[in-house]
Amino acid sequence: MSHAPFDTQAALQAVLASWAERRWLRPLDAAFADFLWREVPDAPPFLILAAALASHQLGRGHACLDLAATLQAPALALSLPPEGEEGRDVLATTEPPPLPAEVLAGWSLDRWQAALDHPLLVGCGAGDTPLVRVGPRLYLRRYWQYEQDVHRAIERRLARSATLQAALPLDILRPILDGLFPPAAAGEAGASWQKMACALAACSGFCILTGGPGTGKTTTVVRLLALLQALALAAPLAGEPPRPLRIRLAAPTGKAAARLNESIAGVVTRLSLAGFEQAEAVRAAIPVKVSTLHRLLGNRPDSRHFHHHAGHPLALDVLVIDEASMIDLEMMAAVLAALPASARLILLGDKDQLASVEAGAVLGELCRHARAGRYTPATRDWLAAASGERIDESLVDEAGSALAQTVVMLRHSYRFSAASGIGQLAEAVNAGDAVRVSEVWRHTHADLALLPLDAADETRFAALVIDGAVAGPGANPAPPAGLAQTAFRYGYRHYLTTLSEARPSSVANQNAIDDWARRVLRAHGQFQVLCALRRGPWGVASLNQRIARVLCAAALIPASAGWYPGRPVLVTRNDYGLGLMNGDIGITLALPPAADQETKLRVAFPAGDAGQGIKWILPSRLQAVETAYVLTVHKSQGSEFGHVALVLPATPSPILTRELLYTGITRARAFLTLVMPGPSRLLDVIVQRQVLRASGLLAE
């Protein structure tokens, strides 16, 4: 059906209203367009269209609207209409709205940019206009400012690297590095990237350590902190007495913070410091407590502002942030603003995981060339002198940027062997190689299973979620080589059986009750169902209800709704009063009653510190939780599980990308079951679809 031209206010208002009605646009996007038209009635219609689309893209994680990409492929760039959009059948009797390609037909980039030439609404830099245009990129001003702030703050820190490197005494640095990384412990073929990462970080005000699961990021950062503390105690700044550095550890979410908390404490305890003159002083100076970024900065309720900022910086010398792929543009700007000029910032994360839920893909952009290295000959030579390690010449580039010299990609996986199906699958997905993905599935791997499953197949679905079973020959095979023989493809029966069989008696003391909770929580971590979507038959809400019914029918839980023993819950919003963070998972338990008391329900959460404490919370005090038999892949970031069942939807969706699939795969420590309700070719589509967020953070 043909439509009239859309270059009048009335025509375009009608288009935006129809898109909002169909939920192609958010109410916020449409309201923003209406606001601009009320404020500036003579604004060109295609300026208002661009503003609405810039707001729309922000909601999809893009920092800006890329005008050129939008004109080249409107449906792809904007995801309009959304694949599998809800509500289309409800409005089937109404005339379908025009597609973006129809609205933009006949428009060139020059013509669209000319329409944006309005001094009241669009600026080209600093000012007070609501929109900023930089070449083909259109920003909401606030996000342009965030991008500028991040870019400049990183450049300032990179500029300090030459000074720090010149002041670093190699005669002290080299022996410390050799002590932390003895040849026998390197465990890598070729150069020790862990050792080189520590050397580069020691001479940088800004450093990134990226790598896939099991590449030793936590181990490396602990050795790096030992190195920095040893240097501070052995070679203090001129005129200053020796003192340990003030180091803080942080992560974007409570779950990620708790996980780092647990892992880093163990690494610090086991760290060999033989030969160090002040070994115990160095060990004592390595922190093990991890906080969320919100708590570190001091969030103010109902405000975008923090207690710590440029005018009131953090009191620290080094800040380490784990799971940095989850940091959005706004939060990164806040972190950098709150750092003292002399402080070091060290980011840890997997550049190939999902980007932040909010706008921006900061870590991914900063690590754009991590695999290629692009180290300058000067960096190569300095690393050889400082660490004894030599970078392969294929990773050397005369034109390497200052940023490239501070990014290190850890390349050796200690978790997945060369024979691991999970490792091979993750690598193939990450490379976008659909052919290799198919080859992985054609070979038999003990740690992989592909389960075709339609919505009506309750038998195989129940077998999977109850016992982790994969129907057909070879169900629950022996564990992969290299794993403990006790490894097993568990389902949810495991933690529910642990809950009932390990339940303490009515006379048990608190220590025994806490130990029971720890056992249940550990058992629960052996299996987790993940999915891509929140809605629909293969979304988190429907699957949680379905699994609860299955477990109830099997008499493993007493009810399928409300509060009941065995219900796992996910915290969806930070609750500083209770000490719970977004992403925390707890299990509902019925406390053993005393002789004259009724059974009491409490939700047990890991305390989230370096110890093994348990936090007991009344269900009535939990205001922002949801059942957690199923998590979205986004919510699972920062977590790992023994066996992961990754459920894909039956039809394509914009959210199904290579990054999502890779992130879901790498949540599995020992076993992965990929559940495919739809056609197998959907996997090829996902593998070849990459998240490309519009941004100008590293634009020339």
Binding-site residue set for ATP: 211-218
Neighbours of 34 (CB within 10 A): 16
Alpha carbons within 13 A on the beta-carbon side of 129: 19
If one counts every other C-beta atom within 10 angstroms of the C-beta of residue 676, the result is 18
Using the CB atoms, write b or e for 263-285: b if 16+ within 10 Å. bbbebbeebebeebebbeebbeb
What is the pairing mode between strands 568-571 and 625-627?
antiparallel
Cβ atoms of 266 and 288 within 8 Å: the answer is: no
CA distance 103 to 583: 41
Binding site: what residues are annotated? Answer: 211-218
Answer yes or no: are the C-beta atoms of 289 and 232 closer than 8 Å: no
Burial group, residue 237, by CB count within 10 angstroms (0-12, 13-18, 19+):
exposed
CA dihedral over 552, 556, 558, 562, signed as positive or negative: negative
Per-residue tokens: 257? 């913070």
The residues near 431 (Cβ < 8 Å, ≥ 6 apart) are none
d(CA 169, CA 176): 11
Ramachandran assignment for 519, one of left (phi > 0), alpha (psi -120 to 50 degrees), beta (any other): alpha
Percentages helix, strand, coil for the chain (3-state, rounded to 5) are: 40, 15, 45
By the 8 A CB rule, do 12 and 48 touch? yes
User: Which segments within 306-425 are labelled E, that is strand?
Assistant: 318-321, 344-349, 407-410
